[in-house]
Amino acid sequence: MSSIFTFQQWVEVLKVEEKGSDVNLATTLVNDAWKDLFDCAVKISNDGDLVEALRIVSQEQCKKLILLTPPRFKKKRSKALKKYASISLTIKNTHLAESQLSDPIPGTNIRKPASWNST
């Protein structure tokens, strides 16, 4: 006698994260610095997991680093990241709004989420 069990459950995802992307970015940054492929790098982040990579690039490879922090972190900018940056700036909401593709993207039916519309 055999039984077939099926189980289906729907859940709402509140937070989506890419696992490994910060490690890949940090590894590539350090590798490119060691290969002397750049003089200055721009990093858009507030992720403290990247501190050691920025330290290596800044102190051991003497590369310039520009740190751009997303606007939602303006008051909570990572001091550890800022320590290794040559320049540290916050991205303005107006710059983000001006950088978005047309809605819809010309020649397509692709639309941006309503929450992306500038106010």
Class of 21-93 in CATH: alpha beta
> Could you give the CA distance from residue 82 to residue 57 in angstroms, rounded to a whole number?
13
Residue 32 contacts residue 38 (beta carbons within 8 Å)? yes
Whole-prediction pTM: 0.67
Which DSSP symbol is given to 77? -
> Could you give the CA distance from residue 62 to residue 41 in angstroms, rounded to a whole number?
11
Q: How many Cβ atoms are within 10 Å of 119's Cβ, its own excluded?
A: 4
pLDDT at 52: 95
> Could you give the CA distance from residue 31 to residue 65 in angstroms, rounded to a whole number?
15
C-alpha pair distances (Å), 63 with each of 29, 59, 80, 90, 116:
11, 8, 17, 21, 34
Structural domain boundaries of the chain? Answer: 21-93
Digitized pLDDT (tens) for each residue of the chain, 119 residues in all = 555 655 566 767 677 666 678 889 999 999 999 999 999 999 998 888 899 999 999 999 999 999 998 887 767 778 889 999 999 998 888 888 888 878 888 898 888 887 776 54
